[in-house]
């Protein structure tokens, strides 16, 4: 997932509107035109896009497969992006994230999310945004495993998943260690708040 590998050059263009007085020196402010016309031309920036080749996979308690597709080092700290697969009946108790906002998009399944105590049911194709510091709980109310895209902004939450997750589905997590890691990474459960 490193962005260091050489990639074909890609160009990003930003088009800036050129003020009328800079389009021509006829009838315009010649000093302004000469000094700033270069600022109003099409600006081309070189960048190398970061494409995660394969996600890091961890297994969270209750058998939740979690794929970390983009981490903070991939997004300059802007966000981290995960895809998880909570099994039927899975739930998280009321909690909030001290440092991050969370956005959840449902790829498959049906989930019930309580946002500040107000229930919402989300199905395939629906999205919810949970602002930083807002208490929420989540439950897979479907009859099968679901799939969700989960985005935390700013990045940092991926460190919790990497620290608390297990390498295989049959690994038994130490729930005390998972809770301690969650607390270290800014999770506050309703009983802690």
Round to whole Å and give the CA distance between 98 and 154. 11
Could you tell me if 76 and 145 lie in one domain? yes
Could you tell me if 104 and 122 lie in one domain? yes
Q: Which two tokens stand for residue 133?
A: 């510091």
Could you tell me if 89 and 28 lie in one domain? no
Give the H or E element holding residue 106.
strand 101-108
pLDDT digits (tens, 9 = 90+) for 38-81: 444 444 444 445 666 689 999 999 999 999 999 999 999 999 99
pLDDT digits (tens, 9 = 90+) for 84-116: 999 999 999 999 999 999 999 999 999 999 999
Taking only Cα atoms into account, the Rg of the chain, rounded to an integer number of angstroms, comes to 23
CA atoms lying within 13 Å on the CB side of residue 107: 11
Strand ranges across the sheet with 80-85: 56-60, 64-70, 80-85, 147-153, 101-108, 127-130
pLDDT at 23 over 60: no
Number of domains in the chain: 2
Give the H or E element holding residue 163.
helix 158-164
pLDDT at 35 over 70: no
Residue 30 lies in a domain: yes
pLDDT at 22 over 50: no
Containing structural domain, residue 165: 56-189
107 contacts 127 by C-beta, under 8 angstroms: no
pLDDT at 159 over 80: yes
């Amino acid at each position: 997932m490193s962005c260091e590998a050489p990639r074909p050059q890609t160009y990003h263009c930003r088009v800036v509107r050129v003020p009328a007085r800079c389009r021509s020196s006829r009838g315009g402010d010649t000093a302004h035109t000469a000094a700033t016309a270069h600022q109003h031309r099409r600006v081309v920036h070189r960048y190398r896009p970061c494409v995660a080749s394969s996600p890091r996979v961890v297994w969270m308690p209750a058998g939740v497969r979690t794929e970390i597709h983009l981490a903070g080092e991939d997004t300059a700290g802007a966000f981290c992006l995960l895809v998880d697969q909570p099994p039927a009946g899975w739930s998280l108790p009321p909690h909030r994230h001290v440092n991050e906002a969370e956005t959840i998009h449902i790829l498959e399944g049906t989930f019930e999310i309580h946002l500040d105590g107000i229930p919402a049911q989300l199905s395939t194709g629906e999205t919810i945004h949970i602002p930083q510091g807002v208490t929420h709980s989540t439950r897979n109310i479907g009859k099968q495993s679901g799939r969700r895209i989960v985005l935390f902004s700013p990045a940092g939450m991926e460190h919790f998943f990497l620290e608390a997750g297990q390498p295989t589905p049959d690994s038994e997590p130490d729930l005390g260690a998972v809770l301690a890691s969650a607390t270290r990474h800014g999770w506050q459960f309703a009983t802690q708040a």
